[in-house]
């Protein structure tokens, strides 16, 4: 069974892009070299989405907890984000990709929030893919903030989900397929509310080497899964009398 999101606008795939640092150190390179290669993997992966039936792709680029990393790595990542926004916007618009950035904007270095707004405006008409990049993102902080603002305890799941997503500048889209590269098997505070019924796919592939074939494999495996959402939509044995 497909989720309502999937039926409406293609699958929502989300990726925890992990393994950049290991990829680089295994090659004797500085960690930032892995992050740089990771940006190329973003382009390749995003452009493969429409043909695989993915309508929304959410990528975890920088978590709220990643501020704890050494200042030079954080600075390098922020420079890469700035460059990405400057260099990729035209290509995103050309390929029908609408870009959104989710997460907090008030702690980003000067000028980045404006660059995000400009890139979002320039790509707003894109209809082939909605590419969402999560920067300074924390699912737990989103849930806490939404709970603190809650006035109507009868709001329900859909209404509260909208509040949770809104806290991180996003819209509520349930995740169908959640992929994590780099070999670790954890969620690291990513889309905890939205991934309630996501199918999980963990791969050893390091993010800088992730490509169209890996995404196709994850989607093929996803399509073989039996999603039940707590029910018995595809019962393989007769129900007990």
* Residues labelled catalytic: 18, 66
| Residue with Cβ nearer Mg ion (18 or 174) | 18
Rounded to an integer, what distance in angstroms lies between the CA atom of residue 224 and that of residue 58? Answer: 22
Q: Is 62 in the site for ligand IPE (CB under 6 A)?
A: yes
Q: Is 167 in the site for Mg ion (CB under 5 A)?
A: no
Reported in sequence order, the residue ranges of 21-166 that DSSP labels E, i.e. its strands, are 54-63, 97-102, 129-137
Q: Which residue is nearest to ligand IPE (CB)?
A: 21
Q: Is 19 in the site for ligand IPE (CB under 6 A)?
A: yes
Binding mask 188-217 for ligand IPE (x = CB under 6 A): x-----------------------------
- Binding span for ligand IPE by CB under 6 A among 10-18, 42-50, 98-106, 169-177: 10-18
228 is in an annotated binding site: no
225 is in an annotated binding site: no
Which residue's entry shows tokens 């995000």?
A: 116
Per partner kind, with CB cut-offs from 5 to 8 A, the member of ligand IPE, Mg ion, none near residue 56 is none
Binding ligand IPE (rule: CB under 6 A), the pick from 3, 9, 22, 43 is: 22
Copy the structure tokens of residue 187. Answer: 């969620």
Binding mask 8-47 for Mg ion (x = CB under 5 A): ----------x-----------------------------
Write out the chain in H/E/C secondary structure. CCCHHHHHHCEEEEEECCCHHHHHHHCCCCHHHHHHHHHHHHHHHHHHCHHHCEEEEEEEEEEHHHHHCCHHHHHHHHHHHHHHHHHHHHHHHHCCEEEEEECCCCCCCCCHHHHHHHHHHHCCCCCCEEEEEEEEECHHHHHHHHHHHCCCCCCHHHHHHHHHHHHCCCCCCCCCEEEECCCCCCCCCCCCCCCCCCEEEECCCCHHHCCHHHHHHHHHHHHHCCCCCCCCCCCCCCCCC
The distance of closest approach from Cβ of residue 125 to Mg ion in the complex, given in angstroms and rounded to an integer, is: 34
63 is in an annotated binding site: yes
Q: Which residues bind ligand IPE (CB under 6 A)?
A: 16-22, 60-63, 66, 77, 182, 184, 186, 188
Q: Which residues bind Mg ion (CB under 5 A)?
A: 18
- Indicate the annotated binding residues: 18, 23, 31, 35, 63-65, 67, 69, 180, 186-188, 199
- Indicate the annotated binding residues for substrate: 23, 31, 35, 63-65, 67, 69, 180, 186-188
């Amino acid at each position: 069974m497909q989720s309502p999101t999937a039926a409406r606008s293609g699958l929502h795939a989300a990726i925890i892009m992990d393994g950049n640092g290991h990829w680089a150190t295994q090659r004797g390179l500085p960690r930032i070299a892995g992050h740089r290669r990771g940006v190329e993997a973003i382009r390749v992966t995003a452009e493969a989405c429409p043909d695989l039936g993915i309508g929304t792709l959410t990528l975890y680029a920088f978590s709220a907890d990643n501020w704890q990393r050494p200042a030079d790595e954080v600075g390098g990542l922020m420079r890469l984000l700035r460059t990405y926004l400057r260099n990729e916007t035209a290509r995103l618009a050309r390929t029908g990709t609408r870009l959104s950035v989710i997460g907090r904007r008030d702690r980003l270095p000067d000028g980045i929030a404006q660059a995000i707004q400009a890139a979002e405006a320039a790509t707003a008409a894109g209809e082939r893919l909605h590419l969402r990049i999560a920067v300074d993102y924390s699912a737990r902080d989103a849930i806490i903030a939404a709970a603190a603002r809650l006035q109507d305890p009868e709001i329900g799941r859909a209404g509260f989900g909208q509040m949770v997503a809104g806290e991180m500048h996003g819209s509520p889209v349930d995740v169908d397929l959640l992929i994590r590269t780099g070999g670790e098997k954890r969620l690291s505070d990513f889309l905890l509310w939205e991934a309630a019924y996501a199918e999980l796919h963990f791969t050893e592939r390091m993010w800088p080497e992730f490509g169209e074939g890996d995404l196709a494999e994850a989607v093929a495996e996803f399509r073989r899964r039996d999603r039940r959402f707590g029910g018995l939509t595809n019962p393989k044995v007769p129900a007990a009398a």
